[in-house]
């Protein structure tokens, strides 16, 4: 089985969404300083790099990251070729794409993939808006992924999270060919959190 890692490495200086905490990594104990083991301390936001959003992210009092069902995070997935889209992903834009019938997990490869070469945040990225998010919900999708740090605008988040669709953000799809795969998305089980960093892997026989 081939394993394709879609996860961005967590490191100081990496691009984060404006206003989110920066990444800080330091050794709290060091063999070089005479300690018996190396122990590191990591400080960063839960929406850093490759991560999921929990309903709590935009809906006060909703479920946190620990309640996201594993059944939505593991199973067949389709990587959709959306690289020719220039604007936001609305319902009309989705009609131009080759979307499979009955897929529960869709990952959109867009022109965003080119943005990972820079550690400076770009506001010019492809994202979902409300009508596109509603179309995703109507299709019965349980998980939707994208190759930058936000799945969409505020309205798109409300639509997806309100329907218990799991957004997976910050995917590195630069080396991924569109098509059918297996998906394994394992977020950290953080109780009461609005999001969680995740290791995300595609599988293919």
List the catalytic residues.
57
Please tell me whether residue 161 adopts helix, strand or coil conformation.
Answer: helix
CA 145, 161, 97, 103 torsion-angle sign: positive
Write down the residue that tokens 């199973």 correspond to: 75
Return the structure tokens found at 127: 């994202």
CA 18 to chain centre: 16
**164 torsion bin: left (phi>0), alpha (psi -120 to 50), beta (else):** left
């Amino acid at each position: 089985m081939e394993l394709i890692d879609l996860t961005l490495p967590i490191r100081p200086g990496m691009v984060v969404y404006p206003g989110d905490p920066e990444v800080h990594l330091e050794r709290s104990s060091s063999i070089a300083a005479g300690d018996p083991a190396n122990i590191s301390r990591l400080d960063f936001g839960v929406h850093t790099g490759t991560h999921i959003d929990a309903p709590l992210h935009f809906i006060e009092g909703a479920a946190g990251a620990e309640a996201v069902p594993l059944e939505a995070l593991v199973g067949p997935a389709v990587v959709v070729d959306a690289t020719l889209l220039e604007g936001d992903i609305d319902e009309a834009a989705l009609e131009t794409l080759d979307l499979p019938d009955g897929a529960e997990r869709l990952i959109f490869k867009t022109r965003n993939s080119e943005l990972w070469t820079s550690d400076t945040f770009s506001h010019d990225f492809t994202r979902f808006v409300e009508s596109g998010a509603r179309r995703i919900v109507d299709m019965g999708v349980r998980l939707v992924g994208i190759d930058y740090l936000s799945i969409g605008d505020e309205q798109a988040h409300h639509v997806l999270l309100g329907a218990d669709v799991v957004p997976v953000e910050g995917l590195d799809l630069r080396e991924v060919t569109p098509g059918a795969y297996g998906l394994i998305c394992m977020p950290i089980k953080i109780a009461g959190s609005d999001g969680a960093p995740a290791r995300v892997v595609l599988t293919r026989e």
